[in-house]
Amino acid sequence: MTEVTLRPITTDDLPALFENQYDPASAAMAGVPSKEEADFYAHRERVEANPDNVTRAVVVDGELAGDVVSWADEGGRHVGYRIAQRFWGRGIATTALQLFLKEITERPLNADLLRSNVGSRRVLEKNGFRLLAPSEEPIDREPDSYYFCLD
């Protein structure tokens, strides 16, 4: 049986996490342009330097499969995740988010995604997130995005 665990991200994980976000299919799904190497490493440094951020490596049977992250801004606390393509469709993101929600206990917890990102929507729904009503969406909402929250 597949074992999914979370642990802090180490510098050894960064080349694989760089490749994950560089995958065109993954970038298109998330709607987030891939970063080139220098940008990616500078971004990681900024992320790890901010104590409001929580980042975890997703490990599947001992192998790095992706990451889950949480950050806070004026819109509240948010969560995001990315799994390497070769692990897709095995319930990894669903389990990783379930584990992460035990660590990130602040509510509401927000997640937004492209309307086309059916897989990510299912990951959120299976973890109890609900689609926000239009009146609850952020003022700067993107028309091609859905906004979810865990109350």
Ligand X SMILES: CC(C)(COP(=O)(O)OP(=O)(O)OC[C@H]1O[C@@H](n2cnc3c(N)ncnc32)[C@H](O)[C@@H]1OP(=O)(O)O)[C@@H](O)C(=O)NCCC(=O)NCCS
Identify the residue among 92, 101, 104, 109 touching ligand X (CB under 6 A).
92
Count the site residues for ligand X by CB under 6 A.
Answer: 21
| Least distance in angstroms from the C-beta of 116 to ligand X | 9
Structure tokens at 147: 């906004």
Residue whose C-alpha is closest to residue 92's, from 130, 118, 126, 117: 126
- CA separation for the pair 47, 49 (Å, rounded): 6
Among residues 78, 20, 18, 23, the alpha carbon closest in space to that of 43 is found at 18
Work out how close the CB of 37 gets to ligand X at its nearest, in angstroms, rounded to a whole number: 19
Min. distance of Cβ 150 from ligand X in angstroms? 14
Q: Does 128 bind ligand X (CB under 6 A)?
A: no
Return the H-helix or E-strand segment holding 46. Answer: helix 37-49
Min separation Cβ 16 and ligand X, Å: 13
Q: Which residues bind ligand X (CB under 6 A)?
A: 26, 29-30, 80-83, 88-94, 113, 117-120, 122-123
